Amino acid sequence: MLPIGELALLLATSSIAVSASTFKPCPVLGLVFAAPTSLCEADTFQAALKNLTATLGYASRSGGLTPYGIIPTDATSFSIGVFDTASTLFSYQYSSPVLQNGTAGVKNVKEDSIYRIGSGSKLITLAEAARKLPRCSASDAALFDLLATLPAGSPLSAYGLPQLPASDYPICGYHLTSACSEDAYLAGYASEHPLYAPYTTPVYSNGAFALLSLALENITGRSFPEMLQTDLFDKLGMTHSSYSTPNDTSDAVMPLGPIDSGFVADLGLENPYVLSHPNPHPRLPLSDHYQKPATPTVLIPDFNVGFAVLAAGNQTTSTVEQLSDMVVAAVVPALENTAREQSQQAFRGTYKASDGLASNITLTTRPGEPGLIISSWNSSSTDFLAVTAAGIYQTAAVDLLLYPTQLVQRVGSSNSSTSVQQQEQRVQYRTLVQQLGDTRPDGGDFLFEVDGAGKVISVSPRVVRTTLEKMG
């Protein structure tokens, strides 16, 4: 067993001194608790969704009043979907009076109603590029990287500027009509002067994503609409989604009609896609991403949860932003609190050595604070927390925090009657360790043994090379 002084050095930099007045630990970037599970049965999370429903209902009855501004509920319809990796957790649809009195498309929005989306479709382009990237050459990958770093948008015209000569107007793709052929598009793009040298600054560029789709077609020998249909829509069960305007628009959300809603516009290479509903199929792992306002599909990897907001009508940009703020304010705190509650239920308690040594450790959580907290730790009858506090921080007390690393080792092999979830696991947590002197790299690792029913049965702090069994 290592000397107590060396033990203190190994774990000291994950420690946060407790002042007499406040205790505010700085969490790691990323997970501070294991992602919550069984959210459909989690009381705290379900209560938050109930409150969100009430807030949305009040907005629809009060002329669009929300905590983040006013949304035009008289003319704008919207859909909200919250999902995890297994199911849809929340679904809310609002049908404006203008939509209900309209003559085209749906009169009442449903989960499978179709919205026309614009810039949000660029995430789909990037998803398809990511699927092909590992099989591309280095030069192809460099091109993808360059094109994908160019955000998209449209320049704004201003009153009072000189009238452009007819020769300066594009010959196609103008005012959502007369879609460009590939040759015409590339010719027009090549005639434009560069704005910046490559890799110097992000630039709004719808064209970059059109070029990205052409690069994919050239590399794969398949059309981009075919790639989307077979590689994404078909595999994810998105039966109402398409690259271009569907022939049947009876399920479409078009409160201003097909033309004014932009639903039947044909932009050729810059065509936005049509998505079936705001609950994307959750088979794919969640990951960080950048989003363009007004078309958010938000993925929250720390909790394995995401949400989407779609709107059609007037002022859709501000509407989607305000609705997204409402979802975040309701959902994210509830997810963290649920994760904390589940971690408390699973890990809280005292763990003792079974080999006769006077060694034990007690874990807990605190409301509003991150991580599993080591509230006491005795190693061979020595108060390890006191030694760390006095020897490193010259304080009377110190907290050590444990964070999940998402490193899991499954023990044994599953058979036909044992699912992966029922296997025993070793789950690693870690304190933040600074390498000091002759310390070892795994000094901050804590390995929890979890049985097939998900019950924590022991913990092994690697620095002391012993196993402590959970009591009770």
Task: Please tell me what DSSP assigns to residue 177.
Answer: B
17 and 43 housed in the same domain: no
Q: Let me know how long the chain is.
A: 472
- Answer whether residue 364 is part of any domain: no
- Within this chain, do residues 390 and 325 fall inside the same structural domain, yes or no? no
Instruction: Say how far apart CA 159 and CA 111 lie, in whole Å.
Output: 41
What CATH number is given to the structural domain containing 327? 3.40.710.10
**pLDDT at residue 338, as a whole number:** 96
Residue 453: partners with Cβ closer than 8 Å, 6 or more residues away: 422
Instruction: Report if residue 424 sits inside a domain.
Output: yes
Asked whether residue 124 falls in the same domain as residue 11, the answer is no
Flag whether 76 is in a domain: yes
In 135-274, where does DSSP find H-type helix? Answer: 138-148, 182-191, 206-220, 224-227, 257-260
**CB 339 within 8 Å of CB 303:** yes
- In angstroms, the CA 109 to CA 118 distance is 19
Does residue 295 sit in the same domain as residue 313?
yes
Residue 281 pLDDT: 39
Is residue 248 domain-shared with residue 326, that is, in the same domain?
A: yes
Q: Domain limits at 135?
A: 39-155+162-338
Give the chain's domain count: 2
Same domain, 121 and 270: yes
Is residue 360 a part of any domain in this protein? Answer: no
Mean pLDDT by 10 residues, the chain (472 residues): 41 42 56 91 96 94 89 90 90 91 85 76 66 54 49 46 68 62 79 78 75 83 85 80 78 77 61 47 37 66 89 85 91 94 94 85 90 88 76 68 87 55 77 45 79 89 86 84
Q: Do 406 and 276 reside in the same domain of the chain?
A: no
Assess whether 45 and 24 both reside in one domain. Answer: no
Residue 346 lies in a domain: no
Residue 25 and residue 49 in one domain: no
Please indicate, yes or no, if residue 308 is contained in any of the structural domains: yes
pTM, rounded to two decimals: 0.74
Determine how many CB atoms are found less than 10 A away from the CB of residue 307.
23
User: Got the DSSP string for 85-100?
Assistant: SSSEEEEEEE--HHHH
Q: How would you classify the pairing of strands 424-430 and 65-66?
A: unpaired
Cβ proximity of 381 and 409 under 8 Å: no
**Residue 343 host element (H or E):** helix 316-347
93: nearest Cα among 277, 236, 274: 277
* Residues 296 and 141: beta-carbon distance below 8 Å: no
Residue 348 domain flag: no
Task: Quote the Cα angle for 215-231-128, to 5°.
Answer: 40
Same structural domain, 169 and 217: yes
Per-residue confidence (pLDDT) for residue 199, from 0 to 100: 76
Let me know whether 400 and 376 are in one domain.
Answer: yes
The predicted structure's pLDDT at residue 41: 94
CB burial readout 81-113, b (16+ within 10 A) else e: bbbbeeebbbebbbbbebbeebebbbeebeeeb
| Judgement on whether residues 47 and 176 belong to the same structural domain of the protein | yes
Integer CA distances (angstroms), 215 to 122, 133, 219, 224, in order: 15, 11, 6, 10
Q: Is residue 234 part of a domain?
A: yes
